[in-house]
Amino acid sequence: MIRADLHIHTTYSSDSTVTPKTLVEKLVAHSFIKVAAVTDHDTVQGLSVTRQLASAYPDILIIPGVEISTAEGDLLILGTEETPAKPWTVEGVIDFAREGDFVSVVAHPYREYGMGDLARNYKVDAIEVVNGESSPHANKLAHELAKSMGLPGLAGSDAHQPSEVCSVYTEVQAGLDVDEILKALKKGLVTAHSM
């Protein structure tokens, strides 16, 4: 079993101050969260440097990913090292994730840039039910959405500054391996935790 922060912005997002080096140091120092997904806004440029830095530490793992801004709200794609082709429609992003065997996740559905109830119209793989930047009420609504859609609920800090990294985590019934983790996320072998 591993514990992961599945939503983190590095300095490759224009609104984050978390450098790849800081993110790696946070994981190395953390007592039980050893996995993080890098999900910058609309870019995968931060992935290679972050994974390169992390490769020096056998007990931590970076999951590649991206947070795509669509007109209907933000979608995380976990597992991808590329961005989908534009235009970025919800359907196009979900198809891209399915074809690549990635995991599509509705990010923070009930706050700004969230899809809200529109998420019900799409075949996503999971819902972010614990977002470190959302209010408890918004996270509660997200939990209810996941439950009513029969989808796994994930947790991610949505960190934009170092102190927010690993503020919440997802427990995943998988080993320290990206493919194993992605499969377990889709199967719902997860528990979302706030601290």
Under the rule (CB under 5 A), what is the footprint of Zn ion?
67, 158
| Residues 84 and 65 sit within 8 Å (Cβ to Cβ) | no
Residue among 66 and 181 whose Cβ is closer to Zn ion: 66
Q: In what order do the strands lie in the sheet with 153-156?
A: 65-70, 73-78, 103-106, 126-131, 153-156
On the 0-12 / 13-18 / 19+ scale of CB atoms within 10 A, 191 is: middle
Minimum gap (Å) between residue 40 Cβ and Zn ion: 8
Minimum gap (Å) between residue 67 Cβ and Zn ion: 5
CA distances to 32, 53, 58, 81, 135 from 20, in Å: 19, 8, 17, 16, 27
Residue among 1 and 114 whose Cβ is closer to Zn ion: 114
Question: Which single residue brings its beta carbon nearest to Zn ion?
Answer: 158
Strands 126-131 and 2-8: unpaired
Residue among 150 and 161 whose Cβ is closer to Zn ion: 161
Minimum gap (Å) between residue 2 Cβ and Zn ion: 21
| Residues 40 and 64 sit within 8 Å (Cβ to Cβ) | no
Residue among 116 and 189 whose Cβ is closer to Zn ion: 116
Minimum gap (Å) between residue 82 Cβ and Zn ion: 18
